[in-house]
């Protein structure tokens, strides 16, 4: 009996603490979702267990909001995009019908690089890894019959983000949607492009100028819009470790903050609309530790180093996607298990939204059935596991708390290096690290180390270097035929024929003029240009005339 | 001549920026004694051909993760032949099984898929080069 009394006393201690009472007051004031909040066996569960600091309280290790998933489940945001705008719109409609609560758009490679479907560079790439968008006409089809005032949309594009945002704004205006009602995110995180994903157009400094223009424009006109999603996902996919993903991403975040503040924007005006995007890989506790550490580090730096005052500025709110790179081409069905574990790690890490990969994505874009299984996986985590009933259920575990601290220590060591590289400026440190190859070589080194561990058999990947029986080699993959390229080129030719060339040219000249004057915001001229049906590439080139292009040094 | 180290160009042809795999392969091939000339991202068939002539390489390795292999890999082989070269073209990356035969028919010397071991990667390059020598 003595043991039971001891347990009781420990629980009594935190339950009677003033911290708990303060949290409870905020928790009670929040809306709560409907739910049983009992285990399958009928045991009632409280929203939180253990001592503070509690969720919704600095430094937010346990969650950004006091009530987390007790108020609202994470947004199940499934990334989709392939072929033509009509094809992708059909997938969007399917996602919304099946209970998806947000849309996320994947663009094809030419679009991501600011190239039109009729560019020689686009050969063999149109519609392959996302949807092709050349002009406002495509954007209109992409979001046909989607209520932009109520559905939040995410657009994963960086180099030409300002032009795509301009097209989105133009479509919203056509539909009579107030810009202030537009909710969503445009990725627009250019630093990780030079570091990992390599979808850049202009050199770093002009790119950051465009981003600060977007931050300013959305601060004034689109208060619900996230002008940037600071993304570690691609850094991890490119081969970094979890700690490098964490550190590079947050350092990039600090760099954008420094850039916007230097451009005269008040930190609390925009920092609350910054959001993050992390990877959830298979090493379960490391991922959870990483996500918990991200919240704590961001809060500390925003408060202590950058002097943010508003609570919202200190909140590291993030989207999570399961690790595409972890999916194996061998025995692809077993990827369903990997994705489920990674999704659970994201949820236990307190994510605000989640994309689950489809099991067939190692070889191609997901089929509709595979995409549905991926969404259903999230629904199982949400409704069957009980993981969403208690906030930060792993908080207080010695291992998870240690891992959280360890992730933070490793990230701080990298921040110190960047701070030194930039002589006291993280922004300059990030520029320097891009310039001297620091980021790409760290990532390549980590990728190679991991590959060697797999190759020498010391790290087991099921189905790849062990347990390899049972690969029947059957594949049912989504294929984008050459007819998409043909169709899209014809469509672009039609749009170009019908537009007024003089209007287009004048609008493009205005974009170039705006780009060449650092005191002018480029956004209004871009919006005006896309309305004349100037193409993505034409607008991009209008800015290239001033900004030039970026070519990576080929380093191994 | 047969004892001279194999010289290979590795390049990303087209817009695809996924360079994790090609960088790992470059290190694998270097570790196995080959001379690797990494051209980097956003190469065209022209830039690859001129580098191949200048560097007098034994093989060209392309990495493709964007489902553009059915268009770009045959284009590369054609460009090699048009330049009067016989350099074998090897493709690594995401290539579905059903594409293997048409790629072979188009003259691609070998395809390395995900999960290939370091030994397989090096052996495949050696074999493609030796068949050609």
Q: What is the ipTM of this complex?
A: 0.91
Write out pLDDT tens, residues A462-515: 999 999 998 876 677 778 888 999 999 999 999 999 999 999 999 999 999 999
What's the whole-number mean pLDDT along residues A424-452? Answer: 97
Q: Is the pLDDT of residue A329 over 60?
A: yes
Is B2 part of a structural domain of the chain? Answer: no
DSSP string for residues in A416-433: HHHHHHTTT-HHHHHHHH
What's the CA gap between B38 and B63, in Å, rounded? Answer: 11
What's the whole-number mean pLDDT along residues A529-555? Answer: 96
Q: How many A/B residue pairs have CB atoms within 8 Å?
A: 99
What's the CA gap between A320 and A32, in Å, rounded? Answer: 23
Write out pLDDT tens, residues A139-154: 999 999 999 998 889 9
Is B1 part of a structural domain of the chain? Answer: no
Nearest to A290 by CA among A361, A342, A357: A342
Q: In chain B, how many domains are there?
A: 1
Residue B27 is part of which domain span?
A: 7-132
Taking residue A123's Cβ as centre, other Cβ atoms within 10 Å add up to: 17
Angle between helices A284-300 and A398-421 (to 10 degrees): 50
Q: Say what the alpha-carbon torsion angle A37, A40, A45, A50 is, to the nearest 10 degrees.
A: -130
Q: Model confidence at A26, in pLDDT bands (50, 70, 90)?
A: very high
Write out pLDDT tens, residues A85-105: 999 999 899 888 887 778 889
| pLDDT at site A197 | 95
Is A262 part of a structural domain of the chain? Answer: yes
Residue A114 is classified by DSSP as: T
User: A198 Cβ partners below 8 Å, 6+ apart?
Assistant: A552, B17, B19, B41
CB B122 within 8 A of CB B28: yes
Q: Model confidence at A5, in pLDDT bands (50, 70, 90)?
A: low
Rounded to 5 degrees, φ, ψ at A270 are -125, -25
**Which residues are paired to A319 by β-bridges?**
A277, A353
| pLDDT at site A473 | 66
Rg of chain A, C-alpha, whole Å: 24
Rounded to 5 degrees, φ, ψ at B67 are 60, 25
Please check whether residue A122 touches B, CB under 8 A: yes
The beta-carbon neighbor of B41 closest among A122, A198, A328 is A198
| pLDDT at site A3 | 61
Is A1 part of a structural domain of the chain? Answer: no
DSSP string for residues in A143-155: TTT--TTTS-EEE
Residues 14-73, chain A: which have Cβ within 8 Å of B? none
| pLDDT at site A80 | 82
| pLDDT at site A364 | 82
What's the CA gap between B11 and B39, in Å, rounded? Answer: 5
Q: Model confidence at A199, in pLDDT bands (50, 70, 90)?
A: very high
The proportion of chain A whose per-residue pLDDT surpasses 90, expressed as a percent, equals 87
Q: In chain A, how many domains are there?
A: 1
**Which residues are paired to B63 by β-bridges?**
B92
Nearest to A151 by CA among A142, A163, A164: A142
Where does residue B133 rank: exposed (0-12), middle (13-18), buried (19+ CB within 10 A)?
exposed
Residue B56 is classified by DSSP as: T
Nearest to A314 by CA among A26, A66, A64: A64
Please check whether residue B56 touches A, CB under 8 A: no
The verdict on a CB contact (< 8 Å) between B40 and A554 is yes
Query: Residue A353 in 3-state DSSP?
Result: strand
Is A411 part of a structural domain of the chain? Answer: yes
The verdict on a CB contact (< 8 Å) between A329 and B114 is yes
User: B21 Cβ partners below 8 Å, 6+ apart?
Assistant: B63, B65, B92, B93, B114
The verdict on a CB contact (< 8 Å) between B118 and A123 is no
Per the omega criterion (within 30 degrees of 0), is the bond before A437 cis?
no
| Arithmetic mean of pLDDT over chain A | 95
The verdict on a CB contact (< 8 Å) between A198 and B27 is no
The verdict on a CB contact (< 8 Å) between A556 and B36 is yes
In three state form, how does the secondary structure of A11-76 look? HHHHHCCHHHHHHHHHHHHCCCCCCCCECCCCCECCCCCCCCCCCCCCCCCCCCCCCHHHHCCCEE
Q: Is the pLDDT of residue A1 over 50?
A: no
CB A550 within 8 A of CB A203: yes
CB B111 within 8 A of CB B97: no
Q: Model confidence at A6, in pLDDT bands (50, 70, 90)?
A: low
The beta-carbon neighbor of A552 closest among B41, B94, B117 is B41
Q: Say what the alpha-carbon torsion angle A261, A266, A272, A275 is, to the nearest 10 degrees.
A: -20
What's the CA gap between A115 and A201, in Å, rounded? Answer: 10
User: Any idea what the CATH number is for the domain that residue A302 is in?
Assistant: 3.20.20.240
State the DSSP H helix or E strand holding residue A279, giving kind and residue range, or none if neither.
strand A274-280
Please check whether residue B96 touches A, CB under 8 A: yes
Q: Is the pLDDT of residue A328 over 60?
A: yes
CB A480 within 8 A of CB A122: no
- Report CA-CA distances (Å) from A512 to A161, A316, A516, A526, A539: 16, 36, 6, 10, 9
| pLDDT at site A196 | 96
End-to-end Cα separation, chain A, in angstroms: 64
CA A508, A509, A513, A516 torsion-angle sign: positive
| Sheet containing strand B59-64, strands side by side | B35-43, B7-13, B59-64, B89-93, B110-112
Query: Residue A8 in 3-state DSSP?
Result: helix
User: B82 Cβ partners below 8 Å, 6+ apart?
Assistant: none
What's the whole-number mean pLDDT along residues A228-255? Answer: 98
In angstroms, the separation between the Cα of residue A239 and the nearest Cα of chain B is 7
Name residue, tokens 């996230």: A226
Q: How many CA atoms are closer than 13 Å to the CA of A433, on its beta-carbon side?
A: 33
What's the CA gap between A375 and A383, in Å, rounded? Answer: 12
What's the whole-number mean pLDDT along residues B52-64? Answer: 97
Say which residue, A4 or B41, is predicted with more confidence: B41
The proportion of chain B whose per-residue pLDDT surpasses 70, expressed as a percent, equals 98
Write out pLDDT tens, residues A51-83: 999 999 999 999 999 999 999 999 988 888 888
Nearest to A538 by CA among A1, A118, A94: A118
- Report CA-CA distances (Å) from A305 to A222, A297, A308, B14: 28, 11, 8, 42
Residues 460-489, chain A: which have Cβ within 8 Å of B? 464-465, 473, 475, 477, 479-480, 482
Where does residue A179 rank: exposed (0-12), middle (13-18), buried (19+ CB within 10 A)?
middle
| pLDDT at site A471 | 83
The verdict on a CB contact (< 8 Å) between A556 and B39 is no
Where does residue A169 rank: exposed (0-12), middle (13-18), buried (19+ CB within 10 A)?
buried
| Arithmetic mean of pLDDT over chain B | 94
Is A476 part of a structural domain of the chain? Answer: no
Write out pLDDT tens, residues B32-56: 999 999 999 999 999 999 999 999 9
Say which residue, A288 or B97, is predicted with more confidence: A288
How do A274-280 and A318-322 pair as beta strands?
parallel
User: Any idea what the CATH number is for the domain that residue B47 is in?
Assistant: 3.40.50.280
Which of A182-196, A255-269, A460-474 comes out lowest in average pLDDT?
Answer: A460-474
Q: Model confidence at A549, in pLDDT bands (50, 70, 90)?
A: very high
What's the CA gap between B129 and B133, in Å, rounded? Answer: 6
User: A12 Cβ partners below 8 Å, 6+ apart?
Assistant: none
Nearest to A142 by CA among A112, A104, A188, A191: A104
Q: Model confidence at B1, in pLDDT bands (50, 70, 90)?
A: very low
Q: What is the pTM of this model?
A: 0.94
What's the whole-number mean pLDDT along residues A383-400? Answer: 98
Query: Residue A81 in 3-state DSSP?
Result: coil
| pLDDT at site A439 | 98
Per the omega criterion (within 30 degrees of 0), is the bond before A53 cis?
yes
What's the CA gap between A128 and A197, in Å, rounded? Answer: 17
CB A261 within 8 A of CB A427: no
In angstroms, the separation between the Cα of residue A538 and the nearest Cα of chain B is 18
**Which residues are paired to A104 by β-bridges?**
A79, A154
What's the whole-number mean pLDDT along residues A121-132? Answer: 91
| pLDDT at site A79 | 81
In angstroms, the separation between the Cα of residue A270 and the nearest Cα of chain B is 31
């Amino acid at each position: 009996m003595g043991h039971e009394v001891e347990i009781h006393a420990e629980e009594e201690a935190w339950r009677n603490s003033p911290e708990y009472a303060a949290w409870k007051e905020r928790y009670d004031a929040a809306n709560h979702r409907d739910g049983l909040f009992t285990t399958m066996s009928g045991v009632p569960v409280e929203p939180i267990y253990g001592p503070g600091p509690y969720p919704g309280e600095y430094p937010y290790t346990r969650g950004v909001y006091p009530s987390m998933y007790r108020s609202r489940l994470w947004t199940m945001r499934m990334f989709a995009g392939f072929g033509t705008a009509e094809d992708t719109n059909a997938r969007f409609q399917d996602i919304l019908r099946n209970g998806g609560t947000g849309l996320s758009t994947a663009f094809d490679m030419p679009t991501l690089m600011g190239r039109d479907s009729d560019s020689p560079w686009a050969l063999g790439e149109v519609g392959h890894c996302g949807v092709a968008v050349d002009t406002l006409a495509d954007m209109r089809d992409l979001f046909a019959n989607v209520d932009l005032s109520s559905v939040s949309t995410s657009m994963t594009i960086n180099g030409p983000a300002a032009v795509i945002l301009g097209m989105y704004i133009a479509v919203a205006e056509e539909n009579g949607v107030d810009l202030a009602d537009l909710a969503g995110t445009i990725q627009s995180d250019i630093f990780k492009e030079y570091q990992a994903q390599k979808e850049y157009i202009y050199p770093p400094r002009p790119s950051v100028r465009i981003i600060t223009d977007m931050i300013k424009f959305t601060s004034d006109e689109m208060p619900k819009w996230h002008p940037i999603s600071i993304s570690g996902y691609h850094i991890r996919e490119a081969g970094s470790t979890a700690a490098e993903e964490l550190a590079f991403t947050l350092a990039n975040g600090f760099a954008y903050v420094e850039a916007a503040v230097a451009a005269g924007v008040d930190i609390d005006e925009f920092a609350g609309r910054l959001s993050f995007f992390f990877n959830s890989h298979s090493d379960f506790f490391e991922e959870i530790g990483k996500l918990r550490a991200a919240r704590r580090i961001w809060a500390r730096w925003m408060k202590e180093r950058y002097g943010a005052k508003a609570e919202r500025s200190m909140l590291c709110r993030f989207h999570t996607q399961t690790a595409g790179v972890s999916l194996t081409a061998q025995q692809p069905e077993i990827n369903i298990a990997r994705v489920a574990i990674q999704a659970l790690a994201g949820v236990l890490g307190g994510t605000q939204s989640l994309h689950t990969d489809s099991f067939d994505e190692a070889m191609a874009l997901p089929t509709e059935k595979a995409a549905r299984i991926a969404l259903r996986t999230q629904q199982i985590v949400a409704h069957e596991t009980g993981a969403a009933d208690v906030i930060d259920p792993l908080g207080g575990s010695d291992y998870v708390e240690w891992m959280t601290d360890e992730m933070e220590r490793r990230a701080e060591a990298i921040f110190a290096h960047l701070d030194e590289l930039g002589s006291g400026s993280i922004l300059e440190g990030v520029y320097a690290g891009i310039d001297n190859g620091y980021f790409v070589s760290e990532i390549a080194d980590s990728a190679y180390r991991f590959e060697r561990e797999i190759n020498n058999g010391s790290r087991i990947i099921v189905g790849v270097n062990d347990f390899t029986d049972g690969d029947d080699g059957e594949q049912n993959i989504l294929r984008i035929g050459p007819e998409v390229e043909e169709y899209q080129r014809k469509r672009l030719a039609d749009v170009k024929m019908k537009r007024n060339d003089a209007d287009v040219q004048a609008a493009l000249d205005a974009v170039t003029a705006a780009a060449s004057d650092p005191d002018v915001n480029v956004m209004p001229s871009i919006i005006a240009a896309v309305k004349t049906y100037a193409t993505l590439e034409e607008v991009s080139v209008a800015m290239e005339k001033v900004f030039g292009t970026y070519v990576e040094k080929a380093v191994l | 001549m047969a004892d001279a180290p194999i010289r290979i160009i590795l390049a990303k042809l087209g817009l695809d920026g996924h360079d994790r795999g090609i960088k790992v392969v470059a290190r694998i091939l270097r570790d196995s004694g080959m001379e690797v000339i990494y051209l980097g991202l956003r190469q065209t068939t022209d830039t690859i051909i001129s580098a191949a002539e200048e560097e007098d390489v034994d093989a060209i390795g392309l990495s493709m993760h964007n489902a553009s292999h059915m268009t770009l890999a045959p284009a590369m082989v054609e460009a090699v032949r048009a330049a009067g070269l016989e350099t074998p073209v090897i493709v690594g990356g995401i290539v579905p099984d059903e594409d293997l035969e048409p790629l072979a028919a188009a003259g691609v010397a070998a395809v390395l898929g995900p999960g290939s071991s370091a030994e397989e990667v090096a052996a495949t390059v050696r074999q493609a080069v030796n068949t050609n020598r």
